[in-house]
Amino acid sequence: MSQRSCLSVILAAGEGTRMKSAMPKVLHAIAGLPMVAHVVKAAEAAGATGLALVIGHGADEMRKAVQKFAPKAETFVQEKRLGTAHAVLAAREAIAKGYDDILVMFGDTPLIDAAALAAARQKLAEGAAVAVIGFRPPNPTGYGRLIEKGGRLVAIREEKDCSEAEKKLGFCNAGMMAVAGNQALRLLDKVGNNNAKGEFYLTDIVELAGADGLDVVATEASFDSALGINNRAELAEAEAIWQARQRREAMLAGVTLIAPETVYFSHDTEIGADTIVEPHVWFGPGVKIASGAKIHAFSHIEGATIASNCDVGPFARLRPGADLRQKAKVGNFCEVKQATIEEGAKVNHLTYIGDARVGAGANIGAGTITCNYDGFSKFFTDIGEGAFVGSNSALVAPVTIGKGGYIASGSVITESVPDDALAFGRARQKTLPGKGKELRERFASAAAAKRRAAE
């Protein structure tokens, strides 16, 4: 089958009114990625060499989004919604290019398993003209039933048209199918609209192909894989299923998740073996973690690279561009953005490091901030290897702290500090004996006078 070409036609023209959103339904995200992009990934994993997206509502928004996750996909607009067969024929130009296999998929089934698609394609390679993907829901009520005889699929029957015996069947239509490329247009063009809604139904090609003596079969996908999304409640259900899959995959790959159900992954999260993730950690897009790291509870990480044996959190926030090198430490209530924390450096408590480099082995004291933004532009702070920055210091960029530099606690540093130098950037302390008591008495007297005046 690896030599067979394949076009995936993804139907994504639905308005999704039940989503109660101005955004096209298929652009709502699962794990930070539009659900239609998950469908594209599954098609590609199943060997699709061409992609055709049939769009309608929000066409311009759809095209812009598609460029990000499927730049080579062709888009076709279904001007009028006249049924699923009519929607597939909107991609006639792509289908006519002569692919061996045509996969018909739906943009609102983000959990579809690539293996289920590959199994349907395999049936085409074995000689079938049509392979319909079915599934077995816990409750088949409302689904079209797959009617089989002698190992062949003879019809897809809508429940309202089923006999009592057929209603008892649990094998239902998932909507997706694979069609032999040399038969696809001929069968689609034969589909009529002589039905109550006057629409052209893709499911009709099953009986049309059978009437022509062509082989039609059904393959089976899991219930989760066939789940379609129509509203935000179902979107949340799909998110939960996707997360459960990803957590299991991570744990089987050697990652320890102490409370798996509380950890949320993004579609592209990468975590190395022997990493430990404590409860309530959120991974946004673009996170790569090498082996042996430890991510403590309640940390929020996105767009960050974390090298082996790093220690992050608890309550840490790593924003895009955060780059932690081996054995680096970013501790509790710290935020790092667009900054490199080099090997063995420590950013332990209540600290903001942005647009900066913290050199190997450097120590950043609690309450330190890099003042990187003047309201108009960002500026860089460079902290050298082995430097020590005392607690509650403000480093006003652009500024360089040299190798081995020492910043006294509570300093505001506005000029670069040479290697191994000690810098103070604070006012000299002045102590006035007895003045504290005098000040308290004065304040108390003023407060009492104010109360009396109010009475």
Q: Which residues are identified as catalytic?
A: 349
SS3 406: strand
d(CA 220, CA 223): 9
Residue with tokens 């949320």: 264
Cβ-Cβ contacts under 8 Å for 226 (sequence gap 6 or more): 109, 111, 112, 133, 135, 137, 174, 175, 176
Cα atoms found within 13 Å of the Cα of residue 18, Cβ hemisphere only: 10
Picking from 358, 341, 337, the residue whose alpha carbon sits closest to that of residue 293 is 341
d(CA 377, CA 385): 26
d(CA 2, CA 46): 10
CA distances to 61, 171, 197, 201, 274 from 83, in Å: 23, 23, 9, 5, 51
Cα atoms found within 13 Å of the Cα of residue 443, Cβ hemisphere only: 6
Cα atoms found within 13 Å of the Cα of residue 182, Cβ hemisphere only: 8
**Sign of the CA dihedral running 434, 437, 441, 447:** positive
Distance from CA of residue 380 to its chain's centroid? 30
Dig out the tokens for 29 from the structure.
Answer: 């995200």
SS3 107: coil
Q: Which amino acid is at 136?
A: R
Cβ-Cβ contacts under 8 Å for 147 (sequence gap 6 or more): 153, 154, 155, 156, 157, 166, 169
Picking from 12, 135, 122, the residue whose alpha carbon sits closest to that of residue 63 is 12
CA distances to 93, 94, 105, 179, 258 from 102, in Å: 13, 10, 10, 5, 43
Dig out the tokens for 374 from the structure.
Answer: 């003047």
